[in-house]
Structure 1
């Protein structure tokens, strides 16, 4: 890419995507956006982003295309459908899927993109709404070294811990390892709060003691206080966490790997969703323990 800042096309302006796009605009990048519900992009449009009427129109105009949508089926639609990115992006474009999706799908995008002279990276993120707003996301990348080098300035705006993990699909595998870690950790956080309450301790004071010790984690320091405050607004949706855990479980089973902690967490979150909490934040798991 040249010295001028590239035009970035952004598809998906939800809890994470909106803040990520805003950070890019604040850093001087021109942004074009498309999302299925235009209202979700209105705040960005009011601040200078350009609306595109379709995926095809966006893909044909952007130098770099970032997608962060909901489910693997959404990724497939955005990339492979008639009027999708692969069919309409110009040769030399860089496409970056930051959705948490299937590793096999990341490889398929890479191969079909490469055949058309397009460079593809899978780059899922971790850090929730807090990390997206602050530009401190962890970004796990799969793809070719040269493409990673070219778009690194973009990643530097969005995150701090940015690592090329390997070939196409490696970013998704790394993110699934991340979600497996969080899955059982969230159970532990909820059980710890329930235990503290049962003993008559002040849970907030307990957190003051244990968040800086060996038990420390993002879930404990950032989400546990939300649990205590009864703040269940989504930094990351229950329904999307269920999607991630399902993908991780399927991937583990394909490799013959047993993940009992992941299986238990998935069961609990599915129970939570059945109780009407699928659009709540993942910290709503505490409701099963109250």
Structure 2
């Protein structure tokens, strides 16, 4: 049974992970952390998190291990190999990958964990920096019901729309569906704002009307104002959105599914990255339309 006495290890302290860790600390959990650059974790250490020098050290001391890293290659690096999670975690440990990653990799982690008596979930999230900060992330899980039920109290600290979507990999497939939806929507948000400007309207006033109607979306409400204000600070990096869309497109192709909206959005975001916007927030897409 998970309580706030449960020892949690958290790997990855970026934009999303940092806020999730702070929420868990504030909820009374004992948190150990590791990331590639200790300096980036100083604020968390000052707030009560315990630093671990390696993935292996963290894995040996935690009862629940959460990972929130960048790319599938990073997921592989922290889970597999002599110094990885699965070789160092004790039997009975729960491992939860909350990175947006490959469904097939999630299944591989689940199977290898199962052979070692370790319980695994893939549980990517949606909601951006705002959702992570406010503890309102949507959490899409894949795995077995018993493991999900055990981990639910932890999920309820960092999220509010929390669903088990099916077996291992189902969480990742759900997140990819989420990213496919956002991909085309971001193009529409950019075009709507520029249309309003060209029509001589106040785009902020236009947003007040259209965010509450049929056009409403998280991107329109949260990223639209940032576009108008010229605020391109990353709540979610362009480079990570490109990674997500690439995984989604590859997965769709494996299922022989055509996704023209996704393909167009990926093409535009790659162009944006080539223009030096890799580390900008996804709302920087409007720069392509404004040039």
| TM-score category, normalised to shorter length | over 0.9
Aligned residues: 290
- Alignment map for 1:211-230 (pairs within 5 Å): 211-230=211-230
Asked if 1:21 corresponds to 2:13, the answer is no
TM-score (norm 1): 0.99
- Alignment map for 1:226-241 (pairs within 5 Å): 226-241=226-241
Q: Paired residue for 1:192?
A: 192
Unaligned runs of 5+ in 2: none
Shift of 1:5: 2.1
TM-score (norm 2): 0.99
Alpha-carbon separation, structure 2, partners of 1:127 and 1:222: 10
The verdict on how the C-alpha distance between 1:198 and 1:22 changes in structure 2, with shifts beyond 3 A counting, is same
The verdict on how the C-alpha distance between 1:182 and 1:192 changes in structure 2, with shifts beyond 3 A counting, is same
* Preserved contact between residue 3 and residue 153 of structure 2 (Cα < 8 Å): no
Which range is displaced more, 108-117 or 193-202? 193-202
Alpha-carbon separation, structure 1, partners of 2:3 and 2:191: 52
Match of 1:221, SS state, is helix
Match of 1:289, SS state, is helix
Which range is displaced more, 1-10 or 31-40? 1-10
Alpha-carbon separation, structure 2, partners of 1:134 and 1:259: 33
Q: Paired residue for 1:92?
A: 92
The verdict on how the C-alpha distance between 1:222 and 1:69 changes in structure 2, with shifts beyond 3 A counting, is same
Q: Paired residue for 1:250?
A: 250
Alpha-carbon separation, structure 2, partners of 1:12 and 1:107: 21
* Preserved contact between residue 245 and residue 262 of structure 2 (Cα < 8 Å): yes
Match of 1:214, SS state, is coil
Q: Paired residue for 2:59?
A: 59
- Alignment map for 1:138-217 (pairs within 5 Å): 138-217=138-217
Q: Paired residue for 2:276?
A: 276
Q: Paired residue for 1:71?
A: 71
Match of 2:130, SS state, is helix
Shift of 1:37: 0.5
Shift of 1:39: 1.0
Match of 2:160, SS state, is strand
Alpha-carbon separation, structure 2, partners of 1:2 and 1:135: 18
Shift of 1:4: 6.1
Shift of 1:195: 0.8
Shift of 1:14: 0.1
Moved over 4 A (4+): none
Match of 2:66, SS state, is strand
